[in-house]
Structure formats: C-alpha cells, structure tokens
Chain A
Amino acid sequence: MTAIVNIFLKEGVLDPQGKAIHHALDAMNFEGVEDVRMGKQIVLKLSTDNKEEAQKEVEKMAEEILANTVIEDYTIELI
C-alpha cells in the first residue's frame, strides 16, 4: 500500500514561497490566478495492506515528524 502525505502551511499562515510563485505567474502574464500555496508531498511505500492500520500509523508519522503542526496541515491519501 502507498501513502501520500500532502503538507501545506495552515490557512492564515503566510506562505512566502507560494507568494513568490504567484508574483512570477503575474509577471509572466498568466491571468486568473487568485492564490498560490506551495506544499510538499511525501510518498511512503508501506508493507501493510490494512487501510485502517496504515491510516493510523501514517497519521502518527505526520504528527510526530512529517509535519510541524504549529504551522502546517496535512492530508493522507492511501492507494
């Protein structure tokens, strides 16, 4: 089973990298971009096929190290 963890700065926490990308897109005349948030994606290959077990374990990983929950939110997708 594969777990995909997406990590983004929380809403309301200014994202300097997203902002810079937004400026660049504006400068390149791409129109209609209202907001840009930059995050990171961590892909984990797991030995288990048990979805519930995987979800629990990856949540623990996200809370303890993958994300800094003071400033970041995360989502977990299991495939």
Chain B
Amino acid sequence: MKHIAILQFPGTNCDLDTKYAFEKLGCTTTIVWHKESELPSNVDLVVVPGGFSYGDYLRSGAIAQFSPIMSAVRDFAKSGGKVLGICNGFQILTEVGLLPGALKRNIGLHFISKFQTMKVINNTNDFLQKCEKDEILNIPIAHADGNYYIDEESFKELEANEQILLRYSNEKGEPIVVNGSVTSIAGVCNREKNVFGLMPHPERAIETILGSTDGIKMLEGLIA
C-alpha cells in the first residue's frame, strides 16, 4: 500500500480533497504541517496541494517555498522521490526551483473556475502513464495565476525532453487560450521526470457525480 504525504500550509484548501482522493484509490495518507522539518519515513509520494498558501502574498507560492518542510521536500525530490504539485502546489514548486518556468496572472485577470478540456502531450512519465498520448481529459481548473511562462531557450529543452505534460485544448485537441500560458501549457515535469506540476485539479475529477473521473488515471499513474 502506497503512503502519500500531503503538505499543509496556512491557506492550503485542497489538502482534504487530496487525502480523500488518494484514500479512495487505496493509499494511506499523512497530512504534514509546513512547520515540520521531516517527511514521514515511509513516503512514496509527496503532494503539494492547491489553495492560497500565505494568502498568495508577494507572489503565489513565494512565501511557502521557505517553510521548513520544503527543504525536506527538496531533498526527497533530489534523491528521486516523486512529488506532485497541484495548482498552488505547482506555483510553489516553480518558486522553489524544482520545476522550470513561472506562473503569472491570467491573461484576462479573472479568476477562472470551470471544467476544462486538455490534451495529453507526453505520457512517457509516471504521472500520465495510464493516459493515452493525445487523449482529451476533462478536469476542473480554479486559479488566478495560471499563466505559465518560460523563456524560449528553456521552452525548447522542455519540448525536446518531453517535459510538457498537458495543454489546454478544445474537444478536438486543438490548443486554446485559457489563461495566456506559453503554447497553452497546463502542466510540466522536471527533466528527471519525478516532479510534476499542473494547474488543473485531478483530485476533483474522481467521481461521476462530480462531473468527471478523468483525474483517477492521473493519480493512479503515480501510485502504480
């Protein structure tokens, strides 16, 4: 049975949803308060969940990166441990430097909260291994700062190393502008493919009654 550590900062609000989702998939979980300096010893995956850590003060994710637990997460990731950042978690992981790029204010300045279709770009990684390449997924998004930016040179590397996970698209799979992200990017991973970040919320797409179960195969990939 896989054990998942879910980080909790002041302002995190998706910790319990994430716990519910992974427990539904048969995992055990520990919620880890950000003041802790160590992760539980038997952890298979660390999730940095969504929310508004520190009220998004300064920049989304900027203050959270200096919480004591983040050094442990950095060490865990550097030694090959799997880390997933969802929404605010993605922002935190880019601020810490575990993921390339940065997330800016949405192009229309609105907080966008809705179901959104997206296309699987690369599935040569644990996170999307259970999805087909070019598959269209329907997953909720809810963010104000999801406008992914990366400089041209790093973008080329991202593309060449198959680090682009997902792109916002229409139902036919054609990329669409949702928040202004470079080439409609919705999620990326690091070069070693053990740290993943995405703006959409797979943990909110695990039950038919809530509109989609497409999030299950994402989360299952990480605990396979």
Contact = CB atoms under 8 A, between A and B. Distances in A.
Contacts of A70: 94, 101-102, 149-151
Contact of B109 (A13, A16, A65): A16
A66 interface: yes
A58 interface: no
Query: In the complex, which range does the number of interface residues on chain B fall in?
Result: 20 to 34
A41 interface: no
Interface string B71-109: 000000000000000000000001100000110111111
Interface stretch (B11-19, B58-66, B199-207, B216-224): B58-66
Contact of A14 (B101, B108, B180): B180
Interface residues of A, number: 11
A16 B105 CA distance: 7
B122 interface: no
A16 to B, nearest CB: 5
B184 interface: no
15 contacts: A14-B104, A16-B105, A16-B107, A16-B180, A17-B109, A65-B58, A65-B62, A65-B65, A65-B66, A66-B58, A68-B59, A68-B102, A70-B149, A70-B151, A71-B104
